[in-house]
């Protein structure tokens, strides 16, 4: 299954190729590396040179080369929400546009339920999925180990008119948080997770996906309510297949009636039919 993001009013993938991608966020064009772009560029060099922001790497050092009068951050509307865009030293922007189909799926499922839904968003970053859940009427617990990311997510909620939505903002290591919630007896009807390849919690807790993922899934199973609604696992770790996530969901949800979908997240270039692979997903939903 392929979940495709197409051109939006304030975001589009202009071109890709030769290990790079060229995107428009609002009125600014960004040029940055992308190892998945293993084909020739469509646009010429002059077109690529129009980018106001260019991410470059020199050995272990990285930086953005910018043109005059470019801001450090700016806001765009995307997917029914407003986001603060900030090019970071890790080449990210604070928005993963390819997640739009997942947000739309989340909103649709939650709105169908005639009950209060509690959602847990793990490794939640700047909050796109959190906003989608809150907009649909769910209560959300947003967890990330980065204080900067959580503050950024709160700003996005405020920009989107959701500053008073029932969202708990938690800065904590995900595994530490899950163990504590289980002891407290808290349960969640839906779980969203975007486990990174590698990372550290706020107290320098170490996360390695190859060592920590199975424990993550075990803890998530313990924290589910008796009537779970959905689970989403997003993946950006190179070399992993969505089948690996599917196998975990099969084990985790074998006692519940539901269906599993797996596949790739892609973005379609705005002027041709090329698709840029951006990540993988597996998701379970109640039948």
Q: What is the pLDDT of residue 257?
A: 96
Interval 227-246 mean pLDDT: 96
* Longest CA span, the chain: 59
Res. 273: pLDDT tops 90: no
Q: What is the pLDDT of residue 59?
A: 83
Alpha carbon distance 287, 117 (integer Å): 16
Fold designation for 2-85: Immunoglobulin-like (2.60.40)
Alpha carbon distance 176, 282 (integer Å): 24
Q: What is the pLDDT of residue 220?
A: 98
Alpha carbon distance 151, 161 (integer Å): 15
pTM of the model: 0.96
- Crossing angle of helices 128-135 and 147-159, rounded to 10°: 40
Res. 200: pLDDT tops 90: no
Band (149; pLDDT cuts 50, 70, 90):
very high
Residue 45: strand, helix, or coil? helix
Q: Which CATH number fits domain 97-286: 3.40.630.30, 3.20.20.220, 3.30.70.1060, 3.40.50.150?
A: 3.40.50.150
Alpha carbon distance 75, 159 (integer Å): 9
User: For the chain, where do the domains classified as CATH 3.40.50.150 start and end?
Assistant: 97-286
Res. 250: pLDDT tops 90: yes
Res. 238: pLDDT tops 90: no
Interval 189-211 mean pLDDT: 92
Report the candidate in 177, 24, 190 with the shortest Cα–Cα distance to residue 107: 190
Res. 282: pLDDT tops 90: yes
DSSP bridge partners of 5: 267
Interval 272-280 mean pLDDT: 95
Residue 74: strand, helix, or coil? strand
Higher pLDDT among residues 204 and 83, named by residue: 83
Percent of the residues in the chain that have a pLDDT greater than 90, as a whole number: 92
Report the candidate in 164, 189, 283 with the shortest Cα–Cα distance to residue 232: 283
Q: What is the pLDDT of residues 58-100, one digit of tens each?
A: 888 899 999 999 999 999 999 999 999 999 998 999 999 999 9
Band (206; pLDDT cuts 50, 70, 90):
confident
Alpha carbon distance 112, 100 (integer Å): 19
* Average pLDDT taken over every residue of the chain: 96
69 φ/ψ sector (left φ>0, alpha ψ -120 to 50, else beta): left
Interval 34-44 mean pLDDT: 96
User: For the chain, where do the domains classified as CATH 2.60.40.1180 start and end?
Assistant: 2-85
Interval 196-211 mean pLDDT: 89
Interval 124-141 mean pLDDT: 98
- Crossing angle of helices 209-223 and 174-184, rounded to 10°: 20
Percent of the residues in the chain that have a pLDDT greater than 70, as a whole number: 100
Chain-centroid distance, C-alpha 147: 17
Q: What is the pLDDT of residue 203?
A: 86
- Crossing angle of helices 242-252 and 209-223, rounded to 10°: 30
Whether the Cβ atoms of residue 176 and residue 187 lie closer than 8 Å to each other: no
Pairing relationship of beta strands 11-17 and 20-25 according to DSSP bridges: antiparallel
Alpha carbon distance 261, 48 (integer Å): 36
Res. 159: pLDDT tops 90: yes
Q: What is the pLDDT of residue 189?
A: 98
Q: What is the pLDDT of residue 207?
A: 85
Q: What is the pLDDT of residue 226?
A: 97
Alpha carbon distance 247, 268 (integer Å): 28
């Amino acid at each position: 299954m392929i979940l495709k993001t197409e051109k939006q009013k304030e975001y589009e993938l202009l071109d890709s190729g030769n290990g790079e991608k060229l995107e428009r966020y609002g009125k600014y064009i960004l040029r940055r590396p992308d190892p998945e772009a293993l084909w020739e560029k469509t646009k010429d060099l002059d077109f690529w040179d129009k980018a106001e922001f260019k991410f470059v790497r020199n050995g272990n050092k990285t930086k953005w080369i910018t043109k005059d009068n470019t801001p450090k951050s700016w806001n765009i509307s995307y997917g029914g929400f407003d986001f603060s865009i900030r090019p970071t030293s890790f080449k990210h922007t604070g928005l993963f546009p390819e997640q739009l189909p997942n947000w739309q799926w989340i909103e649709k499922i939650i709105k169908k339920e005639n009950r209060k839904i509690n959602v847990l968003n793990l490794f939640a970053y700047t909050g796109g999925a959190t906003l989608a859940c809150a907009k649909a009427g769910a209560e959300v617990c947003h967890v990330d180990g980065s204080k900067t990311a959580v503050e950024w997510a709160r700003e996005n909620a405020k920009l989107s008119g959701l500053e008073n939505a029932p969202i708990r903002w938690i800065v904590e290591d995900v595994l530490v948080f899950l163990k504590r919630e289980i002891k407290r007896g808290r349960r969640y009807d839906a779980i969203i997770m975007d486990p990174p390849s590698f990372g550290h919690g706020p107290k320098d807790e170490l996360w390695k996906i190859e060592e920590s993922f199975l424990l993550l899934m075990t803890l998530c199973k313990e924290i589910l309510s008796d009537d779970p609604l959905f689970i989403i696992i997003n993946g950006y770790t190179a070399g992993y297949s969505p089948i690996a996530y599917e196998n975990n969901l099969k084990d985790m949800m074998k006692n519940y009636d539901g269906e599993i979908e797996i596949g790739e997240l892609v973005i379609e270039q705005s002027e041709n039919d090329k698709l840029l692979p951006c990540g993988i997903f597996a998701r379970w939903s109640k039948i």
